[in-house]
Amino acid sequence: MIDRTQTPRTAPALARTPEELAHLRLELGGRVALVPTMGALHDGHRALMATAREQADAFVVSVFVNPLQFGPGEDYERYPRDLDADMAVCAEEGAALVFAPSVEDMYPGEQIVRIDPGAMGRVLEGEFRPGFFSGVLTVVNKLFNLVRPDVAVFGQKDAQQLALVRRMARDLNMPVAIAAAPTMRDPDNLASSSRNAYLAPEERRSALALSRALLSGADASVTGPVGILSAARAVLDEAAAGDPPVTVDYLSLVDANTFAEVPGDFRGDAVLLVAARVGQTRLIDNVPLTL
């Protein structure tokens, strides 16, 4: 959990348009960090901001629910939005500036040109959410251009997104460093997420199987990829028979650099990932491993 017993900080400036952002950005001196978010800020976002404080002299938080990364039937309309609460969190964490644009300001016309995530973005989340990573990388690229940060901070919880943003910055020679913040977890070990608010109490109890499965897999790391997946799958199979059930989209052990599934004799850095639905809520989680 995040320690909130810190000295109260000055409220951040608020920019609602790119023009306001450009004006206020000029007032930020030194090294500047960006923390991109979709709002509904929680302890996971606080961890991102803590990393931003360590990485820079001042940091900007963007709050924008990006329609490009939501597919048909997903939760774009009901995604939680509370800018006043988000501003309060940003003040507590010491943000210098919050950029909270409208959809019309971010996309003043049809967004014809988008970032292609390549093969790495068409597996796992990319397979189950077609177009998702194109939407993510496109808005991140726009935010980089608008905020002009020296460093941008992303969470390890969204491991595939983090890897793709790093690859985009490298492949397109973007003058921004990409920093990672560790996954934050609620007291019951569920990975912190804005979507946790959708879970009814009984659904949340079922959802805890995700972190249990990852822990079981990590504990079996000495047995290699087959043993890791077998241990994690056993937990999820049991949860699939629970009430309410956990419906798994994928459980995968991948190379941390390419996100390709690892072979049975793999040695090196890997990520064990899971995505599943409990009721109407879709959740993801992961744990990094070294084999």
Does 23 qualify as catalytic in the annotation?
no
- Count other C-beta atoms under 10 Å from residue 161's C-beta: 22
Specify whether the CB–CB gap between 44 and 155 falls below 8 A.
yes
Bridge partners for 59 per DSSP: 33
The token pair at 21 is 């952002």
As a whole number of angstroms, the distance between CA 229 and CA 32 comes to: 41
Amino acid at 65: V
42, 45, 129, 157: the active-site residue: 45
Look at residue 142 and give its three-state secondary structure.
helix
The token pair at 111 is 């967004």
As a whole number of angstroms, the distance between CA 281 and CA 283 comes to: 6
Residues belonging to the active site = 45
